[in-house]
Amino acid sequence: MRNLTGGRFSTGSRLRVALCTSAVLTVAAAGCASPVSSDGQATLHATQSGDRPNVLMIMLDDLGYTDLGPYGGDAATPNIDALAQDGLQFSNFHAYPVCAPTRAALMTGQDPHRVGLGSMEGFTAPGVSTTTPGYQGTLDGDFTGIAEILADADYSTYQAGKWHLGAAPEQTPRALGFEQNFTMYDGAASHYADKLRHAPREVEPVDTVLYERNGQPVEELPDDFYSTHAYTDEMLRMIEEGRESDRPFFGYLAYTAVHDPLHVPDAGLIDQYLDLYLENNDYNKLRAERIGRLADKGLIDPDIATRWPVQTPDWDALSPQQKRDLAYRMAVYAAMIDDVDRQIGRLTDHLKETGEYDNTLIVVTSDNGAASASRVVYTAKPGSGEWQDEHYPLVGDVESYGLPGSYPTLGLPNAQVSSGPYFHTKTTVFEGGTRVPAIVKTPGGNDEGEGPRVVDAFTHIVDLYPTVAEYAGAEINSADPLAGDSAKPLFDGVSDQVGTDEFGMELFGHRVYREGDWKLVYAPVLAGGSGTYALYNLDSDPGETRDLIDTHPDIAQRLAEKWEQFAAENGVVPAPFDVVEASAPRIAALMYSIDWTE
């Protein structure tokens, strides 16, 4: 465990350490106490029986709730579908609204503010400096990496793909316990060998992102490099080499698909989906179709009330060129999802061929909801727009979407389609920004043999750290309580929930506190909020369309007080509502604009 700043103590709902074994929960389903060592530190120790499983954690980037086949998506995902058939499908799984905080929580088990990722890459709440503890945008504070505790439990530990948690010596995958790594350190990049950033940085390398293999910089990538394929190749290599030992493995495979720029090398695959979307790309109809497929699967009420972000243009007001533009974006996006599914199939096929599939815990999820922002969001600094135009010369040519040098983004209307019935998109604290697909194949698979076991319980990315620890039989010593609780009892079918059903969150000054079906939200008007607190009941209104704060002011007051407690315990700086509102027009112009082709 490292101590970089002097950690802050945390208590409260879902902020305690509670790692109960399945055996304990079978006897006493009411819960368990957190064991405490003689020096007052929280101590977790999970017993285990039988062979300890391998763990393969697959994180997709900016994938929306309805994008996969089991959730009603348009793209073909037969390999992910098969994982769902063998395991669990979560309908109420959540991440943080942007990628770096989610990845920080996954790797450390902590609320992101406690480990330096209360914000990311210089984007903070108005009035909050990036020098504020908890808002540096890179790993900091007291934590023990999940790979560290698994390495201590005699696991081989592998990382491939996106990191986005800092590149200082104490912040690298190697520092956090990964024996082998092939890492892209930045938030995202061109998916091809050019390694291009979204915009220039102020220090070297100015134009390109940072890649590393096993602690050594990777200066050049092969000409045929494509991120999704390369990360899969690297993870397969690590797993295969590790077969020489008798140790189980923990693999963290962090794809950059389907983050913009939307790139995929298979032109034929793009054409396949282009035929679909050119024929039907009215986003009102596409969203309705996805909701209908979710309803057919029993995952949503077919009569769910929905709403659109206020910046969504009227479909009938769009020009034929704009409609065609949106179809091309959706085609490349779907092709990327199809392609990443094929790569996941390579992994599961290898595990089956080597006899490891049945004894592997596999998790497939996303770091946040679908991305609505255009490339303009990366051009806030002077000269960045001109830099993009120079380094991505195919910008504006829809027929080049997907190729090196192009820079397509999904676009706000398409991103809301991706979120399906849930309101809004990445960067917002509404369900569309945080509710993500999650498929879990447990060791041994689904004994029911009747397809996915659908789990409706509220679960969160913070629960994966203690869950993996329990499966591994790992011991955790933490100066601070973990933010989540082990989901192993739920996975094993001996509990119907994970920890409590309360959860607090903050990002960019936006606030959330959940208690059961009640959700208190502050978001600016231009980000879909009311400009002050709003109260939603997710049981009767999962689309967050009816503000009930005037009907239930007592509930709103209670949740507001609980949010203040959460904030105080986790180093959150509460930005005043009026200050956040004042900055909202500038931010909304960046986040919700559509960069139409000419």
Instruction: Please report the DSSP string for 552-590 in residue order.
Output: -HHHHHHHHHHHHHHHHHHT-----HHHHHHHHHHHHHH
Q: What is the pLDDT of residue 46?
A: 39
Q: Are 485 and 14 in contact (CB under 8 A)?
A: yes
Amino acid at residue number 260: D
pLDDT, average across residues 239-265: 96
How does pLDDT run across 214-250, given as a tens digit for each residue? 999 999 999 999 999 999 999 999 999 999 898 999 9
pLDDT for residue 16: 30
Q: Write the CA distances from 301 to 58, 297, 539, integer angstroms.
A: 29, 10, 10
Non-local (6+) Cβ contacts of 314 within 8 A are none
Higher pLDDT, 35 or 73: 73
How far is the C-alpha of 252 from the C-alpha of 103, rounded, in Å? 11
Give the right CATH number for 56-592 from 3.20.20.70, 3.30.1340.30, 1.10.8.60, 3.40.720.10: 3.40.720.10
Q: How far is 362 from 16, CA to CA, in rounded Å?
A: 26
Question: Do residues 414 and 333 lie in contact, with contact meaning Cβ atoms separated by under 8 Å?
Answer: yes
C-alpha closest to that of 471 among 485, 488, 483: 488
Q: Is the dihedral of CA 498, 500, 502, 508 positive or negative?
A: negative
pLDDT of residue 449: 59
Above 70 in pLDDT, residue 459?
yes
Encoded amino acid at 496, one letter:
D
In 420-536, where does DSSP find H-type helix?
431-434, 464-472, 488-491
pLDDT band at 79 (very low <50, low <70, confident <90, very high): very high
| pLDDT for residue 136 is more than 90 | yes
**Rounded average pLDDT over 114-130:** 90
Cα separation of the two ends of the chain? 53
Q: What's the gap between Cα 489 and its chain centre?
A: 23
Q: Name the residue among 157, 135, 136, 154 with its Cα closest to residue 145.
A: 157
* This model's pTM is above 0.85: yes
What span, in angstroms and rounded, lies between the C-alpha atoms of 142 and 77? Answer: 39
Q: Cα(18)–Cα(463) distance, rounded to whole angstroms?
A: 10
Asked whether the beta carbons of 119 and 508 are under 8 A apart, the reply is: yes
Q: CB-based contacts of 95: which residues, under 8 Å, 6+ apart? A: 102, 365, 366, 367, 368, 434, 436, 460, 461
Where do the domains of the chain lie?
Answer: 56-592
DSSP 336-401: HHHHHHHHHHHHHHHHHHTT-STTEEEEEEESSS-----GGGG--STTHHHHHHHH-TTTT-GGGT
* CA 379 – CA 108 distance, rounded (Å): 31
Q: Are 305 and 543 in contact (CB under 8 A)?
A: yes
Instruction: Name beta bridge partners: 455.
Output: 90
pLDDT given at position 35: 33
pLDDT at 24: 28
Beta strand 453-455 pairing with 88-90 = parallel
> CA 174, CA 109: separation in Å to the nearest integer?
18
Query: Residue 448 has what pLDDT?
Result: 56
Cβ(537)–Cβ(548) under 8 Å? yes
Instruction: Report d(CA 492, CA 509) in Å as an integer.
Output: 38
Contact call for residues 145 and 177 (beta carbons, < 8 A): yes
Token pair of 72 as six digits: 């009603």
164 has catalytic annotation: yes
What whole-number distance in Å separates Cα of residue 420 and Cα of residue 65?
Answer: 7
Helices (H) and strands (E) in the chain, counts: 15, 20
Q: In whole angstroms, give the CA distance from residue 226 to residue 189.
A: 11
What are the tens digits of pLDDT across the range 298-357? 999 999 999 999 999 999 999 999 999 999 999 999 999 999 999 999 999 999 999 999
Q: What is the CA radius of gyration of the chain?
A: 22
pLDDT of residue 19: 31
Sign of the dihedral defined by the CA atoms of residues 189, 194, 200, 201, in that order: positive
φ, ψ (nearest 5 deg) of residue 317 = -90, -5
Residues whose CB falls within 8 Å of the CB of residue 16, separated by 6 or more in sequence, listed in order: 34, 481, 482, 485, 499
- Residue (of 32, 11, 6) closest to 482 by Cα position: 11
Beta strand 502-507 with 510-515 is: antiparallel
- Cα–Cα distance, 444 to 360 (Å, whole number): 8
pLDDT given for residue 479 in this prediction? 60
| pLDDT attached to residue 232 | 98
Query: Per DSSP, what are the bridge partners of residue 183?
Result: 161, 212
**Contacting residues for 177 by C-beta, under 8 A, at least 6 apart:** 145, 146, 147, 148, 149, 150, 151, 157
- Among residues 20, 94, 113, 164, the one annotated as catalytic is 164
CB 531 within 8 A of CB 524: yes
Neighbours of 240 (CB within 10 A): 11
Structure tokens at 424: 């809004």
Tens-place pLDDT, residues 546-562: 999 999 999 999 999 99
> Given its phi and psi angles, is residue 134 left (phi above 0), alpha (psi -120 to 50 degrees) or beta?
left
Which listed residue (99, 198, 391, 424) is catalytic?
99
The tokens for 98 are: 């942007």
pLDDT band at 18; cut points 50, 70, 90? very low
